[in-house]
Chain A
Amino acid sequence: MSRLLLAVPAMLGVFVVVFFVIRMLPGDSAEAMLGASATDAQIETYRAAHGLDKPAPVQFWIALKNLFRGDLGDSLSHYRPVLSVVLERLPSTIELAAYGIVLGSVFAVILGVVAASFRGRWPDLIITAYSTFGMSLPTFYIGLWILMVFAVKLDVIPVSASAVEGLPRWKTLFGPVLTIVVGGSLVRTTRSAILEILEEDFIRTARAKGVPKALILFRHALGNALIPIITMVGYGLAVSFGGAIVLETVFGRSGVGKLLIDAITVRDYPLVQGTTFVIALFMIVANLLTDVAAGFADPRIRVAGAGEL
């Protein structure tokens, strides 16, 4: 609960940061909107009409009031409210992140459990080496090679997902999701979480009682290793959202990441501001859900106060 309360100042803080950071940009949206040929009088009129001539704190107050009305301003390049542009693109990114996390976690948990149960022997060494190496590969690099293999050589997916109409869903998701899964950043966490649990007394007790090894691994160890894994999944969500910027660029998906890059390129500052804000909000909510999920997985945390996680 305390965690929930702390999320509110975080959300406001995010808004403050985004608002003032964008205000620090050279030239305001009047110049960007009207172009270099605009006269001073035209710029003054635009500023007055959009409240840009008022002092920054007043502008902030107006923006804050508009925020609570769900108004994030108008996009300069899309000629409609920022919020509707962002919301239109959001599902695509959420879809990508969700598939990436679910499949990536399943993959990681399987490899992590295998590695932990063969600790120090060759399956463990191979899996650990793989994940160490995978974590060092930039997302765009993995993505480009996946495109190279599956789009250019094998021709099962298109080089750019948005360039082809009426594509089956799995074809647009295949590349980016595979990139997230192959990255394997969760494998090491699962492995070390399970190894740590295997040192606990109750595991020794279970072994002494003669509980089968597989049952110990999946029921006793994996069950208790859920907390660090859930925390990592939450972190993975953050990575996926950040990674979406790169993935959507590489695979030509039109989600919020690509939207942000395009907005920056055409200097559509209200859209940059809105996109950044919505992504950050999403992250805060995701972190909250992670904490709540951790509390469900382990009642001990709920009692001790979830804030300390």
Chain B
Amino acid sequence: MSETSTTLIAVSGSGRHQGRSSNIGRIVARMRKQPGTIVAGAFIVVLFFTAILAPLLAPYDPTQVNFDNILEPPSAQFWLGTDDLGRDQLSRLIFGAQIVLIVALGAVVVAALIGVPLGLIFGFNGGWWDRIGMRFIDMAQALPGMVIGLTVVAILGRNIIILMFAIGLIGASLFARMTRAVVLVERNKLYVEAAEVAGLPRRQIIFGQILPNLVGPIVTQGTVFLGSAIMIESAMSFLGIGLSSDIPTWGAMLSLALDNQAVAPHLTWPPGIAIVLTVLAFSVFGDGLNDALTGERRRLPRLGLRLAQAEEERAARAAVPTVQAAIGADTSSSSGAQPVLVAHDVSVALAMPDRTQARIVKNVSITVAKGEIVGLLGESGSGKSTFARAVLGMLPPGTWLATGSIRLLGEELAHRRESELAHIRGTRMGAVFQDPMNALSPVHSVGMQLTEPLRLHKAMNRAQARARAIELLERVGVRNAASRLDDYPHQFSGGMAQRVAIAMALAADPELLIADEATSALDVTTQAQVLDLILDLRDEYGLGVLMITHSLGVVAETCDRAAVMYRGRIVEDSSVETLFHDPQHLYTRSLLAANPANAESSGRLATIDGELRMEIDRQLDAFEADEAGA
């Protein structure tokens, strides 16, 4: 229960301007739902206590040389053994935690103190400040951190403060970059402009308004960098350019382990494992903190749900033959023409995050005859595109075909294996989708993509496929087809790209074309041209077309028949003539009334307002209740 409410707040994303205390409470509440973050947090707490209580916890003085117990393996006396000077490894490990945390925390503070002001300056001033400043940051980030670190040590020498500074300098560019990004977002927000208009001095705007919004990202960045700082400190100590070697550090311990590897292999494990666990803990905790702050959740669907899905799919598959028997009679009688597509009682289920499932397509039946253009009309979210994907066998993850049968040219497609479907797609049905600019891969030439179905399904060789591709491009109205074959999609306009997509869909002579909002993203003139093309192709090849659209105009201009979809259901299925002149369903009537093309020039445009929608929903609810009862 509380889980759903936190998600909602996160989605609305208004967290930033509310009270700080409630913010922290919410972040903590979110983090408590991330088991990994809790474990990492607990580890960090234990580590800090170990570091603080090191003098009490360590059984020996970590610097105590003891020549009687050199390189001893772990024993009851020395739990982790001793090194080449007889120093107790457990004590050195515990004090090492203290050193590494002090250095890493110091480095984070240094990195923030250098990076945040730089980021503020670049982000707020913009212009040349930003351009030149960011060049420096880029260059600093391109250099290996180790090179920056050893340069600082070479110049300034070796002590704990210099080490903090060296590591902090490595991380400063991260903080600068992050701060700049936040400032760029924040400075364009309304409240900063308002403060500027109200005459607040610039400095006050930066410190009073922007800084509080930076706290979250800085803390996250700090946590993540803490892990890196520990890694860098260890590497530098290992290389002998960190702290002096008698100070117990995990890196220096590993350096000794390397030297004495042949005689004392036990020295290798504890410091290494300590570094790995510490770095891992900070990175997991940092990620969790980031998720909690931004309200993002990377939760994946639970396994239980998938099992339920598999079971349901199996049941639906088993039911297909009975469904087929039931529809055997009525398809042949529907019209004279032979049907290309017969979908019967198709339902699609969607897995919800709370372990329930919802039907997003409900008992849809639709028939497309040869040479017929059937419209599937509906508003966004009505389930029309999901239905198209069900026909194609391309349902997105988390959804599945729950009931029904889909027959293409008499052949059942429901629950077929992907490998079998791959051959049916392209040769018997093709599809064109919305947004032509993304319909083709941007890094492959148009020719390569267009020849793909030709070479696969028509077994053409490269030269044959190229020749046929040119013919196809010419057929769909691309000029200079031969020279455009080697062009890339970004060199085409939207309308031309969609023509290419149509050519690709029809390359292997399918009998059904599914056009899913194929013209919605195009301007009106181009839209008309592409629709004309589809009509021509229909006439030429006798294609059956399933035209999925939200546009009444498209239906009126191109379709022979249309089905209206609402809330996952077909509420009306009739000829276009009947649909426009004698609509049966209240939703259809309301939809037609709301068509701007029909609006009287003087009167107000009718809309489907809340009240009307409630009435439509009431009718549909009653129908569904009836159906469930029957």
**Chains A and B come from one and the same complex:** no
B interface list, Cβ under 8 A from A: none
A interface list, Cβ under 8 A from B: none
